[in-house]
Chains A and B, each alone.
Chain A
C-alpha cells in the first residue's frame, strides 16, 4: 500500500512512537485476551487429577476423558451433553429456516418500488431490533405455559426467528436493492409474475447473502441464553443453559465444565473464523460493507 511508502519516506519521531504504541497495545491485547480461551482448551484436556492443581500444571499427558464423561450420560449426569448439543442444533437450524422463509418474501416486498409503505415498514422492522427480549420473555413464558408448549423446540424456534428477523430482512433487502433493477424490468416485460421474479430471478442471485444471514442466525440462536433458560426444563434444554447447571451437578470438576464449554463454543468459533468479515458486516446490518 502507498501508506508504507509514505511512512518510510518521512518518519518523524512522534509518528514512530505512535506506531510503536499501537503495535504494543495490539499484541498485548491479543496475548491477554487469549488467556481464557487457552485456559478453557488446556483444562478440558487435562487429566482429572491435575485439573484443580495450583500452581496450574502446564506439562501433562493430554486426555479426552473429560469429553467422554461429558458427552455420555453417566453418574450425576442423566442427560449427557450430547443431547443438549443436539437440542441446540435443532433449535438453531429450525429457527434459521423459519427466519429465512419469512424474511425472503418480506425483503422482496420491501424492495418493490410500487410499495408505498416500504420505507415505513423497513424502519419499523429495523426498530424491532431494539425490543429487549427481557420484556417479551414474561408474556411469552405465560403464553407458552398456557399453550402447553413449555420445554418444546417450537417454543424456542418461533421467538428466535422473530428476534433475528430484523437483521435477516435488512441484509436481504439491501442485497436485493443492490441487484440491477433491469433484471426485474426485463422479467416484467416478459410477463413474469412477481412470484416468478422472486423465485426465478432474484432468489438465485440472493443465495450468497441468504447464506450469510443464515449463518449469522445460527450463531445468534446457538448462543442465546435467556429464552432457553426460561422456556426449557430438560426436553429442549440447549447447551448454554446446560453449561450453567454444570457447576451444580459436578461441584467444580473443571475438566468437565471446560470440556462442555469447549464443545458449546467450538462450532461457533469455527464458523466465525471462516466467515469473520461477513459476520461482522452482517451484525452491523451490512452498514459497513
Chain B
C-alpha cells in the first residue's frame, strides 16, 4: 500500500511557534499510547482478568457464601466437575446445543440470504421484516414463547391441534420437545442475524466469475457449489464463529422457558453455574466449572482473531 511509503512521523521534527490562541504549554513529549489505553485496560482487566483469577483461586477451595471460611481442597472441585454425571451432562448438552443451533441457523440463514440478496424493493422490505425477531429483547421473546406454548391457552397448542396434536399437550414437559422448543426459539431469534451477514457478503461478491460460468453453460447447482460457496467462505466463517460464541453465552431463554427442566434435561452449563454458584452457593464447584468453561471457550479465540482480525484490517494482519 502507498501508506507504508510515507515515513511515519513519530514526533514533530521541530515545534513551530504555538498558534496565537494556544492552550497552556504541554509537555514536549507526546503522551504515551499507554496513557490512552490505561482506563480501558483497568476496567476490562478488572472485569475479566480479575474474575478469572478469583475463579481460579476459589476453584481450589470449598468456600461457601453462607458457610464460614473455607479451605484449600486441591483438585476436589475439578474432580467433581468432571466426574459428576449432572455436570458432565450440562457440558455435553451445552456443546450439543451450540453445534445444533449454529448448524441449523447457518443453513436456514443461507437459504434466506440467497433469495434476499437481489436488491429489489420487495427484498428490502423482506429483510426489514426478517430482522424483527432479532430485535425483540430475548427475555421478552422467551416470555412470549412461554405464553404461546401454554398447554391450556396457548396459540401453538390450539392451532397445532388442527394438525393432530392432542389437546393439552405440554411441549415443555417432555425433554425432547422442550429441547426442540429451545432450538426453535434460538433459531427464530438468531437466524436473521446470520442471514443479514451472509446477505451483505453475497452483495459484495464480484459478479464476473458467475457471469463467466454462465457463459460457459454451468448449471445453477454447479455455480453454487463451485463459485458462490467458495467465495462466501469468509462470511460463513465470520457468521459461524460469532454465532458460536454468542450461543455459548445463552442464558435468558433457558432460564425463562424451561429453567433447565424437565428434570435437568435442558440444564446447560450457564444455568448449572448459576444454580450451583448463586442459588446453592457452592462457590468452589461453580468456579471449577467456570475454569473448565473458560478453557473450553479460549479454544475459540484464535478462530475469532483470524476471522475478525483479518477482515477488519486487511493491511495490518496480512
Alpha-carbon distance A271/B155, docked complex (angstroms): 29
Closest-by-CB residue of B relative to A51 is: B153
Alpha-carbon distance A155/B157, docked complex (angstroms): 41
When the two chains form the complex, which single residue of B145, B235, B274 contacts A36, counting CB atoms closer than 8 Å?
B145
Residue of B136, B242, B278 with highest tally of chain A CB at under 10 A: B136
Alpha-carbon distance A271/B132, docked complex (angstroms): 11
Closest Cβ–Cβ distance, residue A127 to chain B (whole Å): 5
Q: Is the CB of B283 within 8 A of A56?
A: no
Q: Is the CB of A254 within 8 A of B252?
A: no
Answer whether residue A207 sits at the interface, using C-beta atoms and an 8 A cutoff.
no
Enumerate chain B residues within 8 angstroms of A29, measured Cβ to Cβ: 108, 112, 130, 191
Residue of B6, B48, B128, B251 with highest tally of chain A CB at under 10 A: B48
Closest Cβ–Cβ distance, residue A199 to chain B (whole Å): 11
Alpha-carbon distance A165/B15, docked complex (angstroms): 36
Answer whether residue B126 sits at the interface, using C-beta atoms and an 8 A cutoff.
yes
Alpha-carbon distance A141/B196, docked complex (angstroms): 36
Q: Is the CB of A33 within 8 A of B133?
A: yes
Q: Is the CB of B139 within 8 A of A132?
A: no
Enumerate chain B residues within 8 angstroms of A246, measured Cβ to Cβ: 143
Q: How many residues of B contact A (CB 8 A)?
A: 123
Residue of A243, A269, A283, A284 with highest tally of chain B CB at under 10 A: A284
Q: Is the CB of B132 within 8 A of A34?
A: yes
Q: Is the CB of B132 within 8 A of A15?
A: no
Closest Cβ–Cβ distance, residue B4 to chain A (whole Å): 10
Q: Is the CB of B251 within 8 A of A226?
A: yes
Enumerate the 8 nearest inter-chain pairs by beta-carbon distance, A residue then B residue, closest first: A272-B135, A240-B139, A22-B115, A162-B47, A105-B36, A109-B36, A106-B40, A109-B33
Query: Contact residues of A with B, CB < 8 Å?
Result: 1-4, 6, 10, 12, 14-15, 18-19, 22-23, 25-27, 29-30, 33-37, 39-40, 43, 52, 54-56, 101-103, 105-106, 108-110, 112-115, 117-119, 121-123, 125-142, 158-159, 161-163, 165, 169-170, 174, 177, 181-182, 185, 188-191, 193-195, 198, 222-223, 225-226, 229-230, 239-241, 243-244, 246-247, 252, 254, 257-258, 261-262, 264-265, 268-269, 271-273, 276-277, 280-281, 283-288
10 A–B pairs (Cβ distance < 8 Å), ordered by A: A26-B112, A34-B132, A36-B141, A39-B155, A54-B152, A126-B305, A138-B58, A138-B290, A252-B153, A261-B137
